[in-house]
Amino acid sequence: MNIVVCMKSVPSSETKVKINSDGVTIEQTDVVFEINPYDEYAIEEAIRAKEAHGGKVTILTLGAATATQNIRKALAMGADEALHLICENAELADSSTIAELLYSAIKEIEYDVIFCGKKAIDCDNHQVPNRLAQLMDIPAVTAISNLELTTESGSAKRNIEGGTELISVNLPALFSAEKGLNEPRYASLPGIMAAKKKPLEERQVSLSNEKLTILSLELPPPKPKGRIVGEGPEAAGELVRILREEAKVI
């Protein structure tokens, strides 16, 4: 079973965002980049599928040159090879352009399954997996929390408001991972050593035909200073009164 995993390198969730003076990008000094958490579930699921059915896992990343270290991490977890589409300033780029670029790369790769994270935690766009599947004309099940995979088909559970859907599709297919799909492994030391020798191809790509234009990037307006109502259970009555009479939210 040949598997492609789309992986993005993103500022860690602990990052304090600061805006550059250009007003459309964030400051990257001191920012720690990690594998997008949802993509980590995708990588883990891909490695498990390879362990069960044989084949190969290819990591496909579009992003800055600095993403290399996270690609090596994915290889250390157990992926076999990687293709890095190097593109600066793609972090918040239009998903339709990103999907097109991934599509042109992926159609040259043999695959049965494509795994993605359900979204990237930087742009929060929630678009690339479905756009990619649409371009490739294969079925997609997004935000899955469970997957039963055979060599012919996949049955996936996805969380919806107040329940789950169970969806079965024939391969080739794309699945995007939700938290809870699995517990991603840590890279082993031999894995880290082996990763250094695994094939990593780099190609330069550039953004074009974006359908969205970034006009500005701003920090959210500061919250007005809050008020400590009091200490301990004695303050509970006053808090409830404020919520009902002043804030009018209960």
Map the footprint of other proteins across residues 50-89, applying CB under 8 A: none
Which residue in 30, 108, 186, 227 binds other proteins (CB under 8 A)? 227
Residue showing tokens 């969205």: 212
Token pair listed for 33: 């980049």
**Is residue 194 part of the contact set for other proteins (CB under 8 A)?**
no
**Is residue 32 part of the contact set for other proteins (CB under 8 A)?**
no
Measuring CA to CA, how many Å separate 172 from each of 72, 95, 132, 207? 26, 22, 13, 27
Token pair listed for 202: 């780099």
Could you tell me the smallest distance in angstroms from the CB atom of residue 102 to other proteins? 12
Could you tell me the smallest distance in angstroms from the CB atom of residue 138 to other proteins? 10
How far apart CA 52 and CA 23 sit, in angstroms, is: 48
Could you tell me the smallest distance in angstroms from the CB atom of residue 126 to other proteins? 5
Q: Which residues, listed in sequence order, are joined to residue 141 by a DSSP beta bridge? A: 175
Q: Which residues, listed in sequence order, are joined to residue 197 by a DSSP beta bridge? A: none
How far apart CA 187 and CA 175 sit, in angstroms, is: 23
Could you tell me the smallest distance in angstroms from the CB atom of residue 204 to other proteins? 25
Count other Cβ atoms within 10 Å, centred on residue 245.
Answer: 9
Residues ≥6 apart with Cβ < 8 Å to 236: none
**Is residue 22 part of the contact set for other proteins (CB under 8 A)?**
no
Which residue in 162, 186, 189, 208 binds other proteins (CB under 8 A)? 162
Which residue in 2, 58, 70, 95 binds other proteins (CB under 8 A)? 95
**According to CB under 8 A, which residues from 203 to 222 bind other proteins?**
210-220
- Altogether, the residues listed in the chain come to a count of 250
Which residue in 50, 72, 73, 131 binds other proteins (CB under 8 A)? 131
How far apart CA 179 and CA 122 sit, in angstroms, is: 16
**Is residue 186 part of the contact set for other proteins (CB under 8 A)?**
no
Could you tell me the smallest distance in angstroms from the CB atom of residue 164 to other proteins? 5
Q: Which is nearer to other proteins, 162 or 190 (CB)?
A: 162
